Structure 1
Amino acid sequence: MLILSLDSSTKGCSAALHQDGALLSACDLHTDRSSSSMLTTLIQSTVQNAGFALHDLDAIAVAKGPGSYTGLRVAVSTAKGLCYALDKPLIGINTLAAMARQLSTFYEDNASTQGYLLCPMLDARRMEVYATVFDTRLQTILPTQAVVVQADSFGTLLEKYPIVFFGDGAAKCQPVLGTHPHAHFLSEPLHPSARTVGTLATEAFLRAEFEDVVTFEPYYLKDFMGTQPRSLPTDSAQAVDA
């Protein structure tokens, strides 16, 4: 099971190659607007560095969003083109879930962080972010949505559970929620990466969760949610209890 994974949800881009869930090769760039010019170069390097060719792939995975409109279009178009040309299945992975996977194992295995929730955030515009909340097993507590960052954005959920906020959208959240005793922020930035897209794609491949290559589109979220983003519900604690 050889899966090539792509991500250009934000300013940079990355590619990764996994075999049976193990990471073989990966390339990451974090420079602005690199996806349109460098993604195909990263793909070639990632596959060749591991000693494979594109025709060896069993599937192509892509971070489907939310994220940058332009970046998502580039990655999804590239992934679909490869699937058409190689006759391979396509796997779409939520960008925020892939970000949370970067932290979930640490928090789940650490006795001192049991009960923590993970909130990956991507910058949208003004005081808006794309966000979701997971537990450390990556079970969804609150679904992916556009959120206006306010003092009560997370309702009573933050009163009951410690939450780790991370991603480039967390910088907007920290001045508003940073004094709350249950709000925690990473000291180093965490970027979306094809490495964890590939990890989740391996699990999706085993469940035969494939996209329709013809109709698949990026998960822009803003269009899906409408023009008015919303704050998280004040009774959000009930969601985690359910």
Structure 2
Amino acid sequence: MSAKILALDTSTENCSVALMINDQLYTRSEIAPRDHTKKILPMVDEVLKEAGVSLHDLDALAFGRGPGSFTGVRIGIGIAQGLAFGAELPMIGISTLAAMAQATYRQHQSEKVVAAIDARMSEIYWGQYQRQTDGQWSAIAIDDGQAECVIPPSELVAHLVKAQGDWTQAGTGWQAYQEPLADLPLSQVQGDVLYPEAQDIAVLAQFEWRKGNSVEAEQASPTYLRDKVTWKKLPGRE
């Protein structure tokens, strides 16, 4: 029997919530780039009411830990922590890139996925995943050892390790940087998953729950990948 897990994600333009109970999913999802703070809690209330449970009935709270929008990731983890504190629930952070790999499998049964989120500033958040026989995903590192990274698309070509088979694209990065990403040493298949979804985060969180990989709410942390951002100051404000 699966754990009772509430999952939420606001790391991209998409805002989503999912509740998994006894392998049944209750979901809400909406593209709402500027309304995450208005949409997310009503979505939580809706799935809890639909399932007929309260937060106190759950085992854990999962969240999209990033990468993604700085603001979106912060909103998601902040709301998740607030809910977890109130109900004394442990938390499970899930990679948004891995969640898109899971979504691609859910929709198209693709077992090899290359995920790229447009990170702005002429960069992408990158992850390459292969599905294992037990349903978990193995991240394939680029040649400098990073499994997930932020990188200019033109530089990724030089670092990517060639892999066999057809790899399905996921994420907004493919549309934003079509030319440089077309040169990757991979056989690519066009996909239609653009954003992470909470229902896929809930599925991946089950694996982490069974392995004991949850933390107390105060220990939950985001994954930004881009740790330093240089801001150009306005004249007179140096």
- C-alpha distance in 1 between matches for 2:158 and 2:177: 11
One-letter amino acid of the structure 1 residue matched with residue 18 of structure 2: A
Structure-2 residue corresponding to 1:235: none
- C-alpha distance in 2 between matches for 1:152 and 1:86: 43
* Alignment RMSD: 2.2
Query: CA 1:148/1:58 → structure 2, altered by over 3 Å: closer, same or farther?
Result: same
Structure-2 residue corresponding to 1:10: 12
- C-alpha distance in 1 between matches for 2:98 and 2:159: 22
Report deviation, 1:163.
2.8
Q: In the alignment, does 2:100 pair up with 1:95?
A: no
Report deviation, 1:160.
4.7
Report deviation, 1:204.
1.0
Q: In the alignment, does 2:138 pair up with 1:134?
A: no
Match of 2:187 among 182, 186, 190: 182
One-letter amino acid of the structure 1 residue matched with residue 5 of structure 2: I
How high is the TM-score relative to the length of structure 1? 0.81
Identity %: 28
- C-alpha distance in 1 between matches for 2:43 and 2:5: 15
Structure-2 residue corresponding to 1:213: 217
Alignment of 1:63-102 (within 5 A): 63-102=64-103
Structure-1 residue corresponding to 2:236: none
Structure-1 residue corresponding to 2:234: none
- C-alpha distance in 2 between matches for 1:23 and 1:227: 41
- C-alpha distance in 2 between matches for 1:153 and 1:147: 10
Number of positions where the alignment pairs a residue of Structure 1 with one of Structure 2 = 216
One-letter amino acid of the structure 1 residue matched with residue 217 of structure 2: V
Q: Which runs of 5+ in 2 are unaligned?
A: 142-146, 231-238
- C-alpha distance in 2 between matches for 1:185 and 1:69: 27
One-letter amino acid of the structure 2 residue matched with residue 121 of structure 1: A
Query: CA 1:38/1:227 → structure 2, altered by over 3 Å: closer, same or farther?
Result: closer
Report deviation, 1:134.
1.0
One-letter amino acid of the structure 2 residue matched with residue 183 of structure 1: Q
Structure-2 residue corresponding to 1:162: 166
How high is the TM-score relative to the length of structure 2? 0.82
Report deviation, 1:37.
1.1
Contact 2:91-2:220 within 8 A present in 1 as well:
no
- C-alpha distance in 1 between matches for 2:150 and 2:64: 17
Deviations 1:186-215 (A, max 9, x none): 2x3432100000001111111111123213
Deviations 1:148-181 (A, max 9, x none): 0117625463475533222011113322233667
Query: CA 1:31/1:24 → structure 2, altered by over 3 Å: closer, same or farther?
Result: same
- C-alpha distance in 2 between matches for 1:179 and 1:56: 50
Q: Which runs of 5+ in 1 are unaligned?
A: 109-116, 229-242
Structure-1 residue corresponding to 2:55: 54
